Amino acid sequence: VILKTYLKERSPEPFSIGRHTVALIPGDGIGPELLNHVRELFRFSCVPVDFEVVHVNSSSTSEGDINNAIMAIRRNGVALKGNIETNHTMPPNHKSRNNLLRTSLDLYANVMHCQSLPGVQTRHKNIDIIIIRENTEGEYSSLEHESVSGVVESLKIITRNNSLRIADYAFRLAREKGRRRVTAVHKANIMKLGDGLFLQCCKEVASGYPDIEFDSMIVDNTTMQLVSKPQQFDVMLMPNLYGNVVSNVCAGLVGGPGLVPGANYGRDYAVFETATRNTGKSIANRNIANPTAMLLASCLMLDHLKIHDYANMIRGAILTTMNETRLHTADIGGQGTTSEVVQSIMRIIQSGGPLTTEI
């Protein structure tokens, strides 16, 4: 205790032994309120995590805010964020802040695990798909120009390095999680060079993992298969834009944007958020948003920080509320409010042991 106090007086930044500091970017729409719930829950459960809050103003044209956020993430290594809105009325050189964050920190892998939850009514059952999406290049390179008036060219960049990197990540993850098959999604019959290169890289990496089956599917057929027989997919690997489409389709299949957490991993940094990255402007500040996705994202973050006990405790409480208590928010057909769901989770955590503070 003496050492702790001594060190606290010496250094200006928040410093605690055994505690982690994580950057928190509230974003817009439902981001701030959901992240407040996360902090409330962490405080209640005595999770050893402190947050360094960085606000990003989506209507400002300067890149000062987003650069501060990037610096904070570099400092802390890990972040939890809400979605930052991209204002259409801004000129085209005003890039998406979320995209800037991902490319500056080289968060090359976006991972989303879609699982059917027994407590949620959906048309399809038994879905268990891991989607791995290349997160930095492809169609999201933000390289556009108007060569002649009325003619705009947008460049989609595919590189061998990034394709090999994401394919390697996918196979390693598949092996780690004991998955049997990786499916690459592409449109190489039309984009022969671009997606052709991506597919070739996937095949090369696949040859180094003979224990894992590898196949490929064209993106339009993939979406058709997903809405008729999603159970056939195991791990899916794809470039940026198709990743956007497929992850949203899968999120819709398991119950909607309020349920699935997402993670963006780079070599040195990791940022956690909801999988479908919605701002949710129309439901902001009405206490009706589903906190599940953001709370599960915070559990993924705790797992990343290797504080598994807390992660499992919170995750268990969330799933119990979802599947047993069946306290649902409006987006999945229930009538609960956001705060009611969070309270229920806290009650379950409290009944699980003496670790908590007062509600």
Residues forming the site for another protein (CB under 8 A) = 86, 88, 92-96, 99, 123-124, 139-140, 142, 144-146, 150-161, 187, 190-194, 196-197, 219-221, 223-228, 241-242, 244-245, 247-249, 251-253, 256-257, 276-278
Cβ of residue 125: shortest distance to another protein, in angstroms? Answer: 10
Instruction: Report the residue number, 93 or 126, with the smaller CB distance to another protein.
Output: 93
Strand 109-115, strand 128-134: pairing: antiparallel
Cβ of residue 230: shortest distance to another protein, in angstroms? Answer: 9
Cα–Cα distance, 240 to 242 (Å, whole number): 6
Other Cβ atoms less than 10 A from the Cβ of 292: the count is 29
Instruction: Report the residue number, 140 or 214, with the smaller CB distance to another protein.
Output: 140
Cβ of residue 61: shortest distance to another protein, in angstroms? Answer: 14
Cα–Cα distance, 292 to 260 (Å, whole number): 7
Instruction: Report the residue number, 32 or 280, with the smaller CB distance to another protein.
Output: 280
Cα–Cα distance, 40 to 334 (Å, whole number): 23
Exposed/middle/buried for residue 63 (C-beta within 10 Å: 0-12, 13-18, 19+):
middle
Q: Which amino acid is at 113?
A: H
Instruction: Report the residue number, 140 or 310, with the smaller CB distance to another protein.
Output: 140
Instruction: Report the residue number, 156 or 304, with the smaller CB distance to another protein.
Output: 156
Cβ of residue 199: shortest distance to another protein, in angstroms? Answer: 12
Four-CA torsion 193, 194, 197, 202, nearest 10 degrees:
-140
Instruction: Report the residue number, 276 or 344, with the smaller CB distance to another protein.
Output: 276
Cβ of residue 94: shortest distance to another protein, in angstroms? Answer: 7
Other Cβ atoms less than 10 A from the Cβ of 38: the count is 23
Please tell me the total number of residues recorded for the chain in this structure: 359
Cβ of residue 8: shortest distance to another protein, in angstroms? Answer: 43
